[in-house]
């Protein structure tokens, strides 16, 4: 008799597709944070608590840039984001909020996917993903079209990375919206999205912003920076300084143009404030860093002077979480990820400049919650910082008000909910 041995095969990996758009860095960072959360939840080495190998075969998160699937590949996708600033910003603000354009895109998504990004639909057909998660509306709308064309039945999860939900998200075709605030959930319900398809998870951020030594530090008792970032602090036993961080750049300098103009106007006045330690991060813009340092030298600010602020200029930094956590106040433009990272580590925010579209929604939401100070111009920026210097208790109030917006473990919450959808 011929005996056939039973062959044991490992479960076939299933793709969790995470689509972002390389317009700025926030969408990508959020997608990568969710991918890391899946690795933590589904790996025994990561202390898996939810995923049962018998129920969930090997899951393979794959993060992709949706703009890479277009018929015409953008050589610099950040140029697209710059086209929504300046004189066209008010028009973009209307487009961002209005549902009319959204309805056209939702209903035409199969044709849009076929005409503009056939490679996207082919990728979906080849991978047959177990779920599709999108941190940008472009990927979500293409996923709707690809699902229709391929006939595949996968859950579509939309994760807006701001504190407002714009009209271009595919509301009628999304299985789960993961949003930052109850107000966003209310807005989606007004637009016809069922409450059972909405989860208030917060915005996903990198794991380093949830480290115990960073989260919710108590800065009210001392204005001296912590030891977590020795490059920021100058130990002065007899003269404590307020550490102020200004984020004036990241990967792409384009969106910071207006913010930098405001900072250039405010900096001479900020230099005169006493007991202030200012660190300015310029990102990957070496030209701007050199220009800023030259301006300081021209004003004779190469050294700290008695009774005046000390200023340090930095290029791109990898340990931004440590810089934020060791600061008493962070001045930023209202990007969704940057604001969320500050909230996670418990550092008060000062949002500077006029904002439109998603950044306008971020500023409005944080101001309404009492979680951030707002300065529209250089005069207000200097005034808010001077007031903060005189009354450190304002920082406590901002941190307390921000508690309802703080979701440092949003990425894991989103990953858990997606796994539940896959059951």
275 band by pLDDT with thresholds 50, 70 and 90? confident
Q: How far apart are CA 181 and CA 338, in angstroms?
A: 16
Name the band, by pLDDT with cuts 50, 70 and 90, for residue 393. confident
Q: Which of 5-9, 320-324, 351-355 has the lowest mean pLDDT?
A: 5-9
pLDDT bucket at 52, cuts 50 / 70 / 90: low
State residue 231's pLDDT score. Answer: 35
Percent of the chain whose predicted confidence (pLDDT) is above 70:
73
Which tens digit of pLDDT belongs to each residue from 246-258? 999 876 666 788 8
Read off the pLDDT of residues 23-37 as tens digits, 9 standing for 90 and up.
878 999 999 999 999
> Is 422 within 8 Å of 132 (Cβ atoms)?
no
Over residues 88-144, the pLDDT tens digits come to 666 666 676 666 666 656 565 666 666 778 899 999 999 999 999 999 999 999 999
> What DSSP line would sit under 81-129, residue for residue?
HHTTSGGGHHHHHHHHH-HHHHHHHHHTHHHHHHHH-HHHHHHHHHH--
- Calculate the average pLDDT of the chain: 81
350: confidence class by pLDDT, cuts 50, 70, 90: very high
Q: At what angle do helices 118-127 and 137-150 cross, to 10 degrees?
A: 60
Helices (H), 118-227: 118-127, 137-150, 182-190
Question: Is residue 374 within 8 Å of 351, Cβ to Cβ?
Answer: yes
Which stretch of 56-70, 118-132, 187-201 has the lowest confidence by average pLDDT? 56-70
Please report the pLDDT score of residue 357 as a whole number: 85
Question: 95 with 101: CB under 8 angstroms?
Answer: yes
Mean per-residue pLDDT, 71-100: 61
Reply yes or no on whether the pLDDT at 6 is more than 60.
Answer: no
Burial 160-187 (b: 16+ CB within 10 A, else e): bbbbbbbbbbbbebbebbbbbbebbbeb
Cα(285)–Cα(110) distance, integer angstroms: 40
What value does the mean pLDDT take over residues 182-203? 94
For range 4-27, the mean pLDDT = 76
pLDDT at 250: 73
What confidence tier does 162 reach under pLDDT thresholds 50, 70, 90? very high
Q: Region 322-326: what's the mean pLDDT?
A: 92
264 against 224, higher pLDDT = 264
């Amino acid at each position: 008799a011929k005996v056939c041995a039973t062959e044991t095969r490992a479960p076939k990996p299933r793709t969790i597709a995470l689509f972002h758009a390389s317009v700025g860095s926030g969408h990508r960072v959020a997608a990568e944070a969710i991918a890391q959360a899946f690795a933590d939840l589904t790996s025994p080495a990561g202390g898996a608590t939810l995923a049962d190998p018998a129920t969930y075969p090997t899951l393979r998160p794959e993060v992709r840039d949706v703009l890479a699937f277009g018929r015409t590949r953008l050589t610099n996708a950040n140029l697209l984001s710059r086209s929504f600033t300046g004189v066209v910003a008010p028009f973009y603000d209307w487009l961002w909020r209005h549902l009319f354009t959204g309805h056209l895109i939702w209903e035409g998504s199969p044709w849009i996917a076929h005409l503009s990004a056939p490679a996207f639909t082919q990728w979906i057909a080849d991978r047959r993903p177990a779920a599709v998660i999108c941190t940008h509306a472009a990927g979500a709308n293409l996923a709707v079209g690809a699902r229709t064309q391929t006939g595949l039945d996968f859950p579509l999860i939309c994760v807006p990375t701001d504190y407002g939900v714009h009209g271009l998200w595919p509301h009628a075709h999304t299985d789960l919206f993961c949003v930052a605030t109850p107000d966003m959930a209310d807005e989606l319900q007004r637009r016809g999205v069922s409450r059972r398809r909405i989860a208030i998870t917060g915005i996903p951020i990198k794991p380093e912003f949830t480290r115990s030594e960073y989260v919710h530090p108590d800065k009210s008792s001392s204005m001296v920076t912590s030891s977590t970032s020795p490059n920021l602090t100058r130990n002065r036993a007899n003269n404590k300084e307020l550490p102020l961080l200004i984020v004036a750049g990241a990967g792409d300098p384009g969106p910071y143009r207006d913010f930098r103009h405001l900072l250039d106007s405010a900096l001479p006045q900020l230099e005169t404030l006493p007991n202030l330690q200012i660190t300015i991060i310029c990102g990957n813009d070496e030209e701007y860093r050199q220009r800023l340092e030259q301006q300081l030298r021209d004003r004779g600010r190469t050294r700290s002077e008695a009774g005046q602020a000390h200023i340090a200029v930095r290029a791109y930094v990898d340990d931004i979480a440590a810089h934020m956590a060791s600061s008493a106040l962070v001045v930023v433009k209202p990007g969704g990820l940057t604001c969320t990272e500050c909230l996670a580590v418990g550092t008060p925010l000062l949002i500077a400049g006029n904002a439109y579209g998603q950044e306008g929604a971020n500023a409005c939401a944080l101001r309404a919650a009492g979680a951030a100070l707002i300065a529209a111009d250089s005069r207000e920026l200097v005034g808010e910082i001077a007031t903060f210097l005189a009354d450190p208790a304002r920082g406590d109030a901002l941190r307390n008000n921000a508690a309802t917006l703080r979701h440092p473990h949003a990425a894991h919450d989103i990953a858990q909910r997606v796994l539940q959808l896959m059951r």
